[in-house]
Amino acid sequence: MKLISANWKMNLTPSQSLAYLQKFLPLVEGIKDREILLCPPFTSLCVVKDALKGSSVKLGAQNCYYEAKGAYTGEVSLEMLKELEVSYVIVGHSERRWIFGESDELINKKVISCLKAGLRPVLCVGEKLEEREAGLTFKVVETQIRLALSGIEEYTDSLDIAYEPVWAIGTGTPATPEDAQLVHAFIKDLLNQINSKHQGKTRVLYGGSVNPKNAGEFMSMKDVDGLLVGGASLDPESFAQIVKSF
């Protein structure tokens, strides 16, 4: 099933999140042929969980820590997320990599801990502008995926991957659907190389300046299995349009 996800990033307080859902849920009621995922900030997970009771919309977290518990000030464990009925965790978002300095090694540990906890990681990968200009897109994406899956190569079917070119995030300049298709097909080939028993259950999402106007074009590409939407997911009407765009 296609996966259309909202990454609210550091936006929407708990009361704003509730107001969002009051508008959003009626707009997507009854949609069963695609999975809808909301990833609010940690502080809104609890109210969003309650508001989603009886709805098929899923709840995701934007980050996690890999240790089970202990002296890790400011971090959030997978057990904490599970109790809030979180089923997906965004791991390795470019903002985590490039603003907060997350390494491939840390991202690998987070992916492993999500799998152990039974939560499905949405692993984010993507090249920076200078890497794209140097013709390194495929190499960067391959390295990020291989390192994130290091030691857990047999679990390729247990996660989803978001291809989010860094230069397209929040810039209003998305990749072309054709360019995204090339990278998505490459990612699917790579998963088959990494794991000879790969069954193709990994959805490859596109993220980066998706909006209600371009969403349908991305979704018409053969290997685009969903979207990860930032800015345009902050308005319930615009995100509902994206959900219904194909």
Q: Count Cα neighbours of 97 within 13 Å in the Cβ-side half-sphere.
A: 21
Are 90 and 62 in contact by the 8 Å Cβ rule? The answer is yes
Q: Can residue 169 be called a binding residue for ligand 13P (CB under 6 A)?
A: yes
- Tokens representing 72 are 């890790």
**Phi, psi (degrees; rounded to nearest 5) at 172:** 80, 0
Place of tokens 């994130």: 148
Site string for ligand 13P, 93-112 (x = CB under 6 A): x-------------------
Q: Which of 142, 230, 236, 243 binds ligand 13P (CB under 6 A)?
A: 230
Q: Can residue 208 be called a binding residue for ligand 13P (CB under 6 A)?
A: yes
- Report the first-to-last Cα separation within the chain, whole angstroms: 13
Q: Which of 35, 102, 164, 184 is catalytic?
A: 164
Give the shortest CB-145-to-ligand 13P separation in angstroms.
17
Residues 3-42 that bind ligand 13P (CB under 6 A): 7
Q: Which of 48, 107, 123, 210 binds ligand 13P (CB under 6 A)?
A: 210
- Of 119 and 194, nearer to ligand 13P (C-beta) is 119
Give the shortest CB-218-to-ligand 13P separation in angstroms.
11
Q: Where are the beta strands (DSSP E) in the chain?
A: 2-7, 34-39, 58-61, 88-91, 120-125, 160-163, 204-207, 226-229
Residue 198 designated active-site: no
Distance, in Å, from the CA atom of 46 to the CA atom of 48, rounded to the nearest integer, reads 5
Q: Which residues are catalytic?
A: 93, 164
Note the residues at the interface with ligand 13P (CB under 6 A).
7, 93, 164, 169-170, 207-210, 228-232
